[in-house]
Amino acid sequence: MGSVVSPIRAAGTGPAAEAGPADVGARAFRQAMGSFPTGVTVVTVACDGGMHGMTVNSFSSVSLDPMLVLVCLDQTSRGLGLIERAGAFAVNVLSAGQRDVSRWFARRHRPAGVAMFDGVSFEPGVTGAPVLIEATASFDCRLRQSHRAGDHVIVLGEVVALVHRPQLEPLIFHAGTYKALEHEPVPPSAQLRVVR
């Protein structure tokens, strides 16, 4: 079987450049992955009398029975060690009005511990992890398993409690910037009909 050739193109550069898999660098990979729009979460943990939060966009549901979710965290993340010690964490899906919260928890040099949450509205979840009050959804989880994968760790959590605020729009991240959902009017013929 021959080698796979992947077309690689940066935005606005014209025709795709051909490159073999060995030529794909981290920058090209990151730019291509940026074409996949994601939500934005803040993963929180309470441990040893302190709290920690970090912005994460690698988040997904895994299973309905049991209810499992996953987040991917850098192996060097301080939060990873705290989650492993606490055995629990919360995933807070940020709402459109929480861009500043996303930026704050992504800052490398933010205060440690409780001071990290100054000005951020939260309450302790069932596991003790901070649940952000203005998030569109929050999943309070017990740590189920973690798996090392490259330079990250896949953290599986079993959902023990959740909060859902469907009236709030989610925060979207795409191609290195925050985006908003665009709403188009739904034509009458496409509207949902309830049949009894």
Residue 188 lies in a domain: no
Residue 191 has pLDDT above 60, yes or no: no
The alpha-carbon radius of gyration of the chain (Å, integer) is: 19
Residue 98 lies in a domain: yes
Q: What percent of the chain has pLDDT over 70?
A: 81
Containing structural domain, residue 66: 37-176
The 3-state secondary structure of the chain, one letter per residue: CCCCCEEECCCCCCCCEEECHHHCCHHHHHHHHCCCCEECEEEEEEECCEEEEEEECCEEEEEECCEEEEEEEECCCHHHHHHHHHCEEEEEECECCCHHHHHHHHCCCCCCHHHHHCCCCEEECCCCCEEECCCCEEEEEEEEEEEEECCEEEEEEEEEEEEECCCCCECEEECCEEECCCCCCCCHHHCCCCCC
Provide mean pLDDT across the span 100-116. Answer: 94
Q: State how far the Cα of 49 lies from the Cα of 148, in Å rounded to an integer.
A: 27
Residue 101 lies in a domain: yes
| Alpha carbon distances (Å) from 120 to 64, 116, 131 | 31, 9, 10
Q: State how far the Cα of 26 lies from the Cα of 192, in Å rounded to an integer.
A: 44
Q: Tell me how many domains the chain contains.
A: 1
Higher pLDDT, 182 or 45: 45
Residue 11 lies in a domain: no
Residue 67 has pLDDT above 70, yes or no: yes
Provide mean pLDDT across the span 14-35. Answer: 68
193: confidence class by pLDDT, cuts 50, 70, 90? very low
27: confidence class by pLDDT, cuts 50, 70, 90? confident
User: In this structure, what CATH number is given to the domain that contains residue 45?
Assistant: 2.30.110.10
188: confidence class by pLDDT, cuts 50, 70, 90? low
186: confidence class by pLDDT, cuts 50, 70, 90? low
Residue 156 lies in a domain: yes
Q: State how far the Cα of 79 lies from the Cα of 89, in Å rounded to an integer.
A: 10
Exposed, middle or buried, 39 (CB in 10 Å: 0-12/13-18/19+)? Answer: middle
pLDDT number for residue 117: 96
Residue 2 lies in a domain: no
CB 67 within 8 A of CB 159: yes
Provide mean pLDDT across the span 94-113. Answer: 94
Number of Cα atoms under 13 Å in the Cβ half of residue 39: 21
pLDDT in tens, 130-142: 999 999 999 999 9
Average pLDDT, the chain: 85
Residue 96 has pLDDT above 60, yes or no: yes
110: confidence class by pLDDT, cuts 50, 70, 90? very high
- The single residue listed with the structure tokens 């459109």 is 96
Residue 94 lies in a domain: yes
Number of Cα atoms under 13 Å in the Cβ half of residue 68: 12
Residue 32 lies in a domain: no
